[in-house]
Amino acid sequence: DAKTTQPPSMDCAEGRAANLPCNHSTISGNEYVYWYRQIHSQGPQYIIHGLKNNETNEMASLIITEDRKSSTLILPHATLRDTAVYYCIVSPTGANSKLTFGKGITLSVRP
């Protein structure tokens, strides 16, 4: 079973920030928070991951609460191409660390 909970869907206006929440209250000390997204009929795409510090890359920012029980993925300027299912996953790193996908959150970016 997935160890994260996400709202089923949300939408935002193009050009605005999209803040996608995720709860992972049972996260273990060695588990990272990963975010992937899947555009329709494609394989998932890695976005970002973190352990306890906030992270930022060219795609997004990841804000992890101090108790690590929840996190927020921020797409600073959403575009129509960001419409996808976003998966929040907790997993230890390592070559054999398989990812268990939950239902994810469907983000719809409207013009």
Partner 1 sequence: GAVVSQHPSRVICKSGTSVKIECRSLDFQATTMFWYRQFPKQSLMLMATSNEGSKATYEQGVEKDKFLINHASLTLSTLTVTSAHPEDSSFYICSANRDNANEKLFFGSGTQLSVL
Transcribe 8-42 into DSSP letters.
Answer: SEEEEETTS-EEEEEE-TT--TTPEEEEEEE-TTS
Name the CA radius of gyration of the chain, rounded.
13
Q: Which stretch binds partner 1 (CB under 8 A): 12-20, 56-64, 68-76, 86-94?
A: 86-94
Map residues 36-75 to x or -, x wherever contact with partner 1 holds by CB under 8 A.
x-x--xxxxxx--x--------------------------
Q: Which stretch binds partner 1 (CB under 8 A): 8-16, 32-40, 51-59, 62-70?
A: 32-40
Judged by CB under 8 A, the chain residues 88 through 107 that form the site for partner 1 are 93-104
105 close to 20: Cβ distance less than 8 angstroms = yes
- The residue ranges that bind partner 1 (CB under 8 A) are 2, 34, 36, 38, 41-46, 49, 87, 93-104
